[in-house]
Amino acid sequence: MKKRTLSAIAILVVVLFMWCRDSLMAQDKYELKAPNGISFSEIRGYETWQVIAPSYRTDNNELRAILGNTIMINAYKDGIPGNGKSFPEGSVIVKIGWSERKSPVFPAAHEPDVLKRVEFIMKDSRRFPSTSGWGYARFLYDAKTATFTPFGKDDSFAQECYQCHAIVKAKDFIFTAYPQR
């Protein structure tokens, strides 16, 4: 009876160790930082933010949901950037990108498949003066390991983002419009 009890305890210990190890080893994305110092934690709760608009990138066949924090949504509702004003400090846009697939139940529709990235843009003129007050961060998702990796070897990646966004300088560097609801 002692051997059975000891065996049962040993099995329980191994199972608990495996469960704890997996739990402890799971990535906390909110601890990640982009090379320019922007932390994933700065968008904590983004999963529940309001949708600004969907988007589709033909260059990489990526479906996107463009979300905004309350400051950004209110600015859009106030007519920014169409009214010539700039987005206020604290405005944040999050772009969630997925690969696409045809819907298995409705082939005429395309839907998100595998998560590819989470990117965000935040307005903070004091922190990001060299990019007209906007800070950029990109976190690439690896579905095989279920982990995110910050994009860029150093903070120069933000200049690449900024140069692309300069195309829409007249819209305060933001591509996504707030479509009619």
Report pLDDT digits (tens) over 92-119.
999 999 999 999 999 999 999 999 999 9
Helix or strand (DSSP H, E) at 77: helix 70-77
The CA distances from residue 37 to 105, 155, 165, 166, in Å, are 43, 8, 20, 22
pLDDT greater than 90 at residue 147: yes
Query: Does the domain made of 27-171 have the CATH classification 3.30.750.24?
Result: no
Domain locations along the chain: 27-171
Contacts of 95 by beta carbon, 8 Å cutoff, 6+ apart:
55, 64, 65, 66, 67, 117, 118, 119, 120
Report pLDDT digits (tens) over 35-73.
888 998 999 999 999 999 999 999 989 999 999 999 999
HSE value, Cβ hemisphere, 13 Å, CA-based, for 3: 0
CB-based contact 134:165 (threshold 8 Å): yes
Q: What angle do CA 69, 140, 101 make, to 5 degrees?
A: 90
| pLDDT at 176 (0 to 100) | 95
Confidence of residue 2 (pLDDT cuts 50, 70, 90): low
| pLDDT at 108 (0 to 100) | 94
| pLDDT at 21 (0 to 100) | 45
| pLDDT at 35 (0 to 100) | 87
pTM for the model:
0.81
